[in-house]
């Protein structure tokens, strides 16, 4: 069956998370993604860890369904091969150091003269201009710069996200911007330049706390795993030591919670707790009351009462629980893909489309596709390496 991006070729000078996350999603939709890597070592994310049978967890996650082309683009022959690829490509994605692509002659202005239909997406920490343009940017640094740490953690300790949330945010906006640019090109026939910054991506995601602190108002407090402004909404310990995550959204649910879960209907009309604003103000007292009632119950009994009252709840799962999650299994969300270390499980991308199946191909080794890609261009591996061809022709 036809996938949405079948026939689209993406060239990516990428490393770490943001750009690879964007391009893997393009590959999921059928695009041919040629990942240009350093000869030998490749994308430095390959060396982050060895948790997947000796292969990096980050790299395994965001690099399936790609072709790896190992080029030293500082060498004239390798750069010529890259430019030849870009003359017929649809998209170039890069998250090199600030200004590096332009110094290599890979700016949008230079490339569009040779390929007016090319879409160029530059991903950086702070964007293509402004006083922070050349500032180094890593995920945790952007989390900090964007104020994310100020609203995440406990009252005593700011905490980063447990995942690369700034990289993922930038990758998501790069992905959606590229899709919109392809749609626009379908109407105009022309490519375009996309400038995505991690700071601006996180700024968008920080919209709620920004407006919460509007006109100098106090920002949301750090409340650990509890919601900063809705209560009760967060983890509560039962009498057997188990933890139950629960959340209330409105006054109807609050009354049901008091009636059926706490089995103390009078609490619903207590002046300290009769509105969310009051419950939030008096959360310490309300927490003590809830924990007192839950102390006589097991976690399973608490969940049983919450389900009967139609109150939202969840388990506090770890990674082993997620691997074995019954809902993912029931919806047949797991597949296997090839990799340099053998077959490994992989989650299907979010969203089920009745018209096509996602592409779920192998995670590549460094330079695995050099011979095939260079042959398409009429080059041999020896020519790219700057040495004379072997008698057999090589490649």
Q: Which residues are catalytically annotated?
A: 227
Using the CB atoms, write b or e for 123-158: b if 16+ within 10 Å. bbbbbbeeeeeeeebebbebbebbbbbbbbeeeeee
| DSSP SS3 for 43 | coil
CA distance 270 to 253: 15
The b/e string for 295-333 (b: 16+ C-beta within 10 A; e otherwise) is eebebebbbebbeebebebeeeeeeeeeeeeeeeeeeee
Contact 93, 22 (CB under 8 A): yes
What gap in Å lies between CA 132 and CA 304, rounded to an integer? 53
**Can you tell me the distance from the alpha carbon of 171 to that of 373, in angstroms, rounded to the nearest whole number?**
26
What's the sign of the alpha-carbon dihedral 178, 184, 186, 191?
Answer: negative
Strand partners, 119: 91
Asked if residues 146 and 152 have their Cβ atoms less than 8 Å apart, the reply is no
Q: What distance in Å separates the CA atoms of residue 124 and residue 132, rounded to the nearest whole number?
A: 11
Q: Which of 293, 159, 302, 164 is nearest to 223 (CA)?
A: 159
Please answer whether residues 17 and 139 qualify as being in contact, where contact means their C-beta atoms are separated by less than 8 angstroms: yes
């Amino acid at each position: 069956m036809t996938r949405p991006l079948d026939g689209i070729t993406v060239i990516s000078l990428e490393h770490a998370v943001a750009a690879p996350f964007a391009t893997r999603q393009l590959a999921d939709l059928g695009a041919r993604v040629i990942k240009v890597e350093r000869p030998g070592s490749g994308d430095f994310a390959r060396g982050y860890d060895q948790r997947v049978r000796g292969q990096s967890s980050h790299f395994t996650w965001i690099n399936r369904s790609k072709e790896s082309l190992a080029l030293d683009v500082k060498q004239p022959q390798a750069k010529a091969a890259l430019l030849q690829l870009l003359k017929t490509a649809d998209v170039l994605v890069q998250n090199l150091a600030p200004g590096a692509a332009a110094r290599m002659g890979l700016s949008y202005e230079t490339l569009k003269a040779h390929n007016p239909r090319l879409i160029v997406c530059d991903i950086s920490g702070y964007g293509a201009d402004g006083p922070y343009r050349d500032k180094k940017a890593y995920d945790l640094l952007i989390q900090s710069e964007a104020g994310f740490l100020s609203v995440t953690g406990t009252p005593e300790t700011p905490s980063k996200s447990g995942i690369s949330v700034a990289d993922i945010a930038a990758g998501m906006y790069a992905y959606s911007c590229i899709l919109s640019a392809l749609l626009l090109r379908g109407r105009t026939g022309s490519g375009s330049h996309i400038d995505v910054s991690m700071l601006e991506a996180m700024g968008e995601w920080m919209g709620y706390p920004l407006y919460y602190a509007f006109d100098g108002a106090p920002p949301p407090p750090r409340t650990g795993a509890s919601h900063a402004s809705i209560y009760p909404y967060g983890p509560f310990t039962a009498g057997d030591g188990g933890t139950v995550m629960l959340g209330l959204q409105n006054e109807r649910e609050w009354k049901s919670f008091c009636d059926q879960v706490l089995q103390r209907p009078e609490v619903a009309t207590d002046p300290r707790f009769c509105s969310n604003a009051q419950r939030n103000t008096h959360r310490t007292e309300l927490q003590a009351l809830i924990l007192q009632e839950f102390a006589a119950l097991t976690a399973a009994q608490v969940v049983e009462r919450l389900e009967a009252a139609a109150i939202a709840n969840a388990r506090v799962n770890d990674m082993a629980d997620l691997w074995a999650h019954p809902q993912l299994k029931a919806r047949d969300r797991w597949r296997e893909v090839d990799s340099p270390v053998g077959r490994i499980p992989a989650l299907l991308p979010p969203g089920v489309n009745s018209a096509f199946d996602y592409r779920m191909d192998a995670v590549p080794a460094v330079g695995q596709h050099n011979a095939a890609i260079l042959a398409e261009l009429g080059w041999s591996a020896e020519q790219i390496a700057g040495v004379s061809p072997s008698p057999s022709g090589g490649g």
